[in-house]
A and B are shown apart, each in its own frame.
Chain A
Amino acid sequence: MLWTHIILLGQGAIMTVAISAVAITVGFALGVLVCAARLSPVAGLRGLGAAYVSFFRGVPLLVMLLLIYHLLPAIGIDVPGVVAAIIGLTLSTAAYQAENLRGGFLNVGTGLVEAARMVGLNARQILLRIRLPIALRLVFPAVVNEAIMLLKASSLVSVVGVADITRDAQNLASSTYRPIEAFTIAGAYYLLLNIVLSGGGSSLSRMLGRHRA
């Protein structure tokens, strides 16, 4: 009985992992673009980047998900709930990751860049060979942290009908009348996934740490 419930929520766990993984990777790529805009010498781009960040950090994710879910069909784009969910999570995490990255870039010591200028590296080489790799190493722990936050926040996608862990647990609770068991299993799944995520993150971080000053 218990095992069938655990297996049942396992399907939700696969959904949770899948949408979180897509959102965190696509969101990171989008975050790089937003960060580039925020650090751009062009004032208009900087403003656009700043507006993006303040909008997606300012509106609650739950509201954002519901808005996207209802807005897309209203303007004639019919997408399944899971796509709306991924779009919402991606746009939101991109704002946070852009800010993390920006912090990383600003923390690359000016001396490291001056040393590169003194041996003759040009601006593009300094960006690609010095600033970017160092910034990425600096922000790696923050990215792992953001992945954990996102995995937990993904439980909100149940409101747009996505069959993730939380939604499966809700269904299970109402069909079995055993909510405590259902949500305990759900909680255990999230905990387990996050332990794996942070464990993997810290061992990767240790490998990178060898290269950090």
Chain B
Amino acid sequence: MSEHAAAITLEGVGKSFGDNRVLTGIDLTIRHGEVTCLLGPSGSGKSTLLRCLAFLEEHTEGIIRIAGEPMGFAPAADGGRKRLPDAAIGRVRRNLGMVFQQFNLWPHMTALGNVAEALRLVRRMDRATAEARALAQLEHVGLAHRAGHYPSELSGGQQQRVAIARALAMEPKIVLFDEPTSSLDPELTGEVLSVMRGLAQEGMTMVVVTHEIGFAAQVGEHIVFLDQGRILLEGRAAEVFQAPRHPRLAQFLQTYVDRGASLVLQE
């Protein structure tokens, strides 16, 4: 097993929306420096789980720890949980960056503005310092030459790379990705996946919800397969993708093979 320290731990995490139970009894450890891929059929709770990690969604049971600190709720003396103040949530959230399926770039700011905004407002850098940092970050995702463009003037792939630069500019310890290529045309997914691959090689801790089985198989180290809000199985990529497979996973993977996806495995 890995000697990496825990970046995120979940103990008995559950989530219901009213009567609708979406996540049940999630116990999970995500280690520093690893790429964890969350797979599973549509509606299995992948996005909800990822959003709970960032406390964009409040988990209704259990404890989540980010870099050792409880996120949103801490264990209480009586065995229950107590809600943490917003300031504490914001502080723990600084460990995290998030990349969304819909990019979510701010349309009234240039690519540079999108990346520099939080450097100025949160890190309190002056404009010149923030923009220099932002430009370096855009360079890193190959978009320095598009710094002055507004999101509406960029392709989907470029927008998503700007969104990655925006997340990385705040120097998160862990980056969460929710289907970062799902709203892209097929010919644009490659440029985003290659930025992510580069990030993985630099040793970034990443949690990636994806339907890109090829990416999961090549870049993913830790694979978590969700089904109906539970972890059906998890393990090292090589083990999970090879026999003996769980019948639900085999069925899930088969739908990709049927759609023409090729499974290129590590080793």
A residues near B (Cβ < 8 Å) are: 109, 111-112, 114-122, 125, 129-130, 133-134, 137, 210-213
Contacts and interface: CB of A to CB of B under 8 A. Distances in A.
Question: Looking at chain A's contact residues, is the secondary structure mostly helix, strand, loop, or mixed?
Answer: helix
Contacts of B96: 118
A118 B96 CA distance: 7
Contact of A119 (B109, B117, B151): B117
18 contacts: A111-B102, A114-B56, A114-B98, A114-B104, A115-B104, A115-B105, A116-B106, A116-B118, A118-B97, A119-B167, A120-B90, A120-B121, A120-B170, A121-B121, A121-B122, A122-B90, A211-B109, A212-B107
4 shortest interchain CB distances as A-B pairs:
A119-B118, A213-B107, A115-B104, A120-B122
A111 B90 contact: no
A109 B108 contact: no
Determine the interface band of chain B, counting residues with CB < 8 A from chain A.
20 to 34
B161 to A, nearest CB: 15
A188 B94 CA distance: 61
Interface string B154-167: 00000000010011
Nearest to A130: B106
Nearest to A138: B107
Interface in B95-120: 96-98, 100, 102, 104-109, 117-118
A117 B54 CA distance: 10
B152 interface: yes
Given A129-B121, A134-B108, A118 B150 contact: no
Contacts of B54: 118
Contact of A115 (B93, B98, B169): B98
A213 B94 contact: no
B56 A134 contact: no
Contact of A137 (B105, B108, B169): B108
A211 B98 contact: no
Of A121, A130, A133, A213, chain B has the most CB atoms within 10 Å of the CB of A213
